[in-house]
Amino acid sequence: MTTSNGVSARYEGAVLIDGTGDEPVTDAVLLVDDQGLIDYAGAADSAPPRDATPVVDLSGHTLLPGFFDCHVHFGLGGNMMSSLRDMAAPPSLRSFETAHRMRETLRAGITTARDLGGIDAGYRQAQRRGLLEGPRLRVAGRMLGPTGGHSDFTLPDGSCPDPGLGSVVDTPEQARRESRTLLRDGVDWLKVCATGGMTTPSDDPEDVGLDEETIRTVVGEAANRRRDGVAAHSQGIVGIHNALRAGVTSLEHGYGLDPQGNELMLRSGTVLVPTLSAALRMPERGTVPEYLWQKKHRWAEHSRSNIAGAVAAGVPVALGTDSGIGPHASNLDELRHLVEVGLSPLEALTAGTGGSARLLGLRDRVGTLRPGMLADFVVTDVDPLRNIAGLADPDAVVLVAQAGEIRKNTLSNKAASAS
């Protein structure tokens, strides 16, 4: 039976890219049942015959799985300076702003996201209960790092303008206790800082963060509680090697990756989330602190060639942007960068859908358009195989659905009306 929210529908005429890496299907049919599950996705020739199910004509469009962003910070406003300013706002206002960013990100085509620092598990629960419109969420809460490292926002005067991002731990025992505290509070992922970073003033990407033993302790705690895994903020090469030997699930950034690191990744099955949107975006000089401009300038080219090396070596890649540090709701600009470092457009689209679902442990439910999967999908009026950069514009995403329910629909009225 039909419901007004769009569940139970037949979508016809689009080019289908199903997220598995298979070649596109022209003139496809997608059938969604009243539970929000996919009944059929494939060529019109083999589709079940039309019945009373309402038909949506998608001729001239491309139909894809809903995209993933495996590295976001919904609690942060788009640059470090505004984030610090935001902290003067009441917590309730910050929550509404976070909710707004989630909604805008969903409308840009991201139906699932992993937040790697700055929000708690309540956002995941609110989204799941339908109280909050946004991507399905996996959260890490706060990231763990050493005193003076990437998660330590303490200033020389002892004040600590931390927007809920960091926990400071220096020993395996401290890391164990903080991991358990976060897991008790309901996080899905733990995040460690294996190196310093760009945006913090007192450390550098080449600095080593938590040591291998401490990271291994965190990996063990996540496994003991059967959570999704451990993400490692890793930029310089010494910390990258530490994180990989300790058994992390995903390597975030990976800007310094070398052939030995690539080898370790291939052996362990660790997934790279290269956040090229963050690495390659050069702020205008004078608009950010000089230390940040200098760091970014030094690292941009270095990052591009090392990530290209990892891609060439066959390291698995998932889509992540670090939005929150950068702007929200232009997440799919990352696809263009993935192509720049050597993926084909189809491989980039697969990395952003089925490949990311695999990293997040959700591949049996979302990420590909196959029978039995939840009907999370997007429709675009650009041809992403010819114009991958076109997907960066949120307006190019004309329809977004989660479990068959329509979250955005800017198809023309004529095309959207049932025939």
Site stretch for Zn ion (CB under 5 A), options 180-188, 286-294, 317-325, 345-353: 317-325
Q: Tell the smallest beta-carbon distance from residue 200 to Zn ion (Å).
A: 11
The full DSSP string for 22-75 is PPPEEEEEEEE-TTSBEEEEEEGGGSPPP-SS-EEE-TT-EEEEPEEEEEE-TT
Residue 234: which H helix or E strand, with range? strand 229-234
Q: How far is CA 387 from the centre of its chain?
A: 21
Q: Which of 69, 322, 333, 334 binds Zn ion (CB under 5 A)?
A: 322
Q: Tell the smallest beta-carbon distance from residue 69 to Zn ion (Å).
A: 11
DSSP summary character for residue 400: E
334 counts as binding Zn ion under rule CB under 5 A: no
Paired sense of beta strands 229-234 and 25-32, if any: unpaired
Q: Tell the smallest beta-carbon distance from residue 113 to Zn ion (Å).
A: 12
- Toward Zn ion, which CB reaches closer, 114 or 407? 114
- Toward Zn ion, which CB reaches closer, 236 or 345? 236
- Toward Zn ion, which CB reaches closer, 211 or 322? 322
Q: Tell the smallest beta-carbon distance from residue 324 to Zn ion (Å).
A: 7
Q: Taking the CA of residue 86 as centre, how many other CA atoms within 13 Å lie in the half-sphere pointing to its CB?
A: 23
Q: Tell the smallest beta-carbon distance from residue 282 to Zn ion (Å).
A: 18
- Toward Zn ion, which CB reaches closer, 272 or 415? 272
Burial of 241 (0-12, 13-18, 19+ CB in 10 A): buried
Residues 291-310 that bind Zn ion (CB under 5 A): none
- Toward Zn ion, which CB reaches closer, 53 or 199? 199
| Segments of 245-376 assigned E as strands | 250-253, 271-273
Q: Tell the smallest beta-carbon distance from residue 232 to Zn ion (Å).
A: 11
Number of residues counted as binding Zn ion (CB under 5 A): 1
Under 8 Å between Cβ of 215 and 240: no
Site stretch for Zn ion (CB under 5 A), options 77-85, 161-169, 206-214, 315-323: 315-323
Site stretch for Zn ion (CB under 5 A), options 155-163, 295-303, 320-328, 332-340: 320-328
Under 8 Å between Cβ of 22 and 385: no
Count of residues for the chain?
419
Q: Tell the smallest beta-carbon distance from residue 116 to Zn ion (Å).
A: 5
Q: How far is the C-alpha of 15 from the C-alpha of 175, rounded, in Å?
A: 48
- Residues within the interface to Zn ion (CB under 5 A): 322
